[in-house]
Structure 1
Amino acid sequence: MSAPTARAYAFRRADEATQPDFVRAALAELISTFIFVFPAVGSIFALDKMYAHTGRPASGLLAVALASGLSLAAAMAASINVSGGHVNPAITFGALVGGRVSLIRAIYYWAAQLLGSIMAVILLRLVTAGMRPVELYLAAGEGKGHGMLLELVMTYGLVYTYYATAIDPRRGSMWILAPLAVGLIFAANILVGGPFDGAAMNPARAFGPALVEWRWRHHWIYWVGPLIGGALAGLIYEFLIIPIEAPHPTQQPLAAEDY
């Protein structure tokens, strides 16, 4: 049995010098977040265009869930070999509290993810003749505490799935399925939470439309809930699920021998 490896909490790690640099990893996060947000928000634009006079049908929720889940899977697959394929500040936060990324890398990722979301929403406005994005907000009758708890629970499941398939040292070839698994749980959670609070599970997804339209109604919910959920998933999986004797290489981004 090998000796336990100490988790590495640091502002910046020395071993990161041998991995893809911050700029390239952050650029991958920016582009991948753009790839995710453009269809996720654009699917709502499409529904509003098709049903401008009748309102969105109930089946529109399925269309948004599919567009969001599939685009997230593609975005993660496009960046997992460079940055770890976070595409979500909550996933980055979960990896940070689990000791899988340094603080400076997390800051770079957060900035890139938010910028990618903003760029996607701005471009959507340009290509749709100025259609206005709808910011996420609570449905009528839903309490703020309920909305935050819903975001927390959904994001917990999302980050836990990411940890199990992309970070766990025992994952083996399972990492190949990580983008699909995360995309599927994301789509499934939209079917559950969409009618209640829009089901963000991703502060960057909520931030782009809110900033472009400058509408911040209930916006704090889409930060507090996902970040707490992501942190809980990272802590629980890191300290309760991964055996202490398991090897603990730096996982984010993937080590050079993994790609």
Structure 2
Amino acid sequence: MPIHTQLVDRVAVGRYQDEVTHPSAIKAFVAEFISTLIFVFAGQGSGMAFGKLTDGGATTPAGLVAAALAHGFGLFVAVSVGANISGGHVNPAVTFGAFIGGNITLLRGIFYIIAQLLGSVVACLLLFFSTGGLATTGFSLSAGVSIWNAFVFEIVMTFGLVYTVYATAIDPKKGDVGIIAPLAIGLVVAANILAGGAFTGASMNPAVAFGPAVVSWDWGCHWIYWAGPLIGGGIAGAIYELIFINRTHEPLQGSEF
């Protein structure tokens, strides 16, 4: 069977009763909501705290390092606590990449993404109220960075993230995940923030960009933080599934990694 046919055959819509209303599915949605809330609260909150302490110094090199560490550690925890329940996606781009590779059904993937977006919005609302009304920091392009520069940046960074997810958490040859997958995923996000944070903010995650945009109501260039990550995640999922896993069609057993 040609490899492209294998990929198409593995993509499934899923049954509503199994993928949406089943108790295990509901638990998975709640886990994605909580994990994303934890991640966004820590990452976004660290930027707000650093900016307050340094009177706007969050854009300095020290602020970039602080953001990388906060997001890396936060994602490590968020993936770890959700891994055994939902797979710990914490990112619509990861969910989309898993769908492209046939590792999650369309229905469950849609509800994962809804849960992730809600988790991000609630995290930003909690930050807004608990900090006395400090503005959540939306993603924006740095001076001299064009829309297409940022678009490519987000594609490449998210490709690296989702490729890492596949290699450490989805690949059936991975063995016992333990803490290796969450650690590797957190580290690649931290590294990408150091590489691209000064240019695009290094979102790699539509949910991370969506929450601050809703609370601050700032939608400038917001489409980049959806299109770039989804394209990068989809390409990573297709490449890893076709080249390195390359399995024949088999029924999905669930959406967990």
TM-score (norm 2): 0.90
Q: Check conservation: 2:116, 2:207, Cα contact below 8 A.
A: yes
The residue aligned with 1:11 is 13
Gaps of 5+ in 1: 255-259
Q: Check conservation: 1:169, 1:249, Cα contact below 8 A.
A: no
Q: Check conservation: 1:167, 1:251, Cα contact below 8 A.
A: no
Relative to structure 1, the CA distance from residue 248 to residue 50 in structure 2 (aligned partners, 3 Å threshold; closer, same or farther) is: same
1:226 Cα shift? 0.1
Q: Check conservation: 1:84, 1:251, Cα contact below 8 A.
A: no
Q: 135, 138, 145: which is aligned to 2:148?
A: 145
1:51 Cα shift? 1.1
Residue 192 of structure 1 pairs with residue 215 of structure 2: no
Q: 159, 162, 173: which is aligned to 1:159?
A: 162
Relative to structure 1, the CA distance from residue 252 to residue 20 in structure 2 (aligned partners, 3 Å threshold; closer, same or farther) is: farther
Q: 218, 222, 228: which is aligned to 1:219?
A: 222
Relative to structure 1, the CA distance from residue 20 to residue 9 in structure 2 (aligned partners, 3 Å threshold; closer, same or farther) is: farther
Report the secondary structure of 2:138's partner residue.
coil
Q: Check conservation: 1:122, 1:212, Cα contact below 8 A.
A: yes
Q: Specify the code of the residue in structure 2 equivalent to 1:201.
A: M
1:16 Cα shift? 4.9
Counterparts of 2:83 and 2:51, CA distance in 1: 33
Listed as ranges, the matches of 1:8-157 within 5 Å are: 8-12=10-14, 16=18, 21-52=24-55, 56-157=59-160
Q: Specify the code of the residue in structure 2 equivalent to 1:167.
A: I
Q: Specify the code of the residue in structure 1 equivalent to 2:65.
A: L
Report the secondary structure of 1:170's partner residue.
helix
Listed as ranges, the matches of 1:178-257 within 5 Å are: 178-244=181-247, 250=253, 252-254=255-257
Q: 175, 183, 194: which is aligned to 1:172?
A: 175
Q: Check conservation: 1:169, 1:247, Cα contact below 8 A.
A: no
Counterparts of 1:138 and 1:116, CA distance in 2: 24
1:136-174 Cα shifts (integer Å, max 9, x gaps): 010011110110100000000000000011110100024
Q: Which moved more, 1:217-226 or 1:48-57?
A: 48-57
Q: Check conservation: 2:102, 2:252, Cα contact below 8 A.
A: no
1:250 Cα shift? 3.6
1:46-97 Cα shifts (integer Å, max 9, x gaps): 1111011767532111111000010001000000111010000000000011
Q: Specify the code of the residue in structure 2 equivalent to 1:74.
A: V
Report the secondary structure of 1:87's partner residue.
coil
Q: Check conservation: 1:33, 1:88, Cα contact below 8 A.
A: yes
Report the secondary structure of 2:210's partner residue.
helix
Q: Check conservation: 1:190, 1:199, Cα contact below 8 A.
A: yes
Query: What RMSD over aligned residues (CA atoms) do the two structures have, in Å?
Result: 2.2
1:248 Cα shift? 8.2
Q: Specify the code of the residue in structure 2 equivalent to 1:188.
A: A
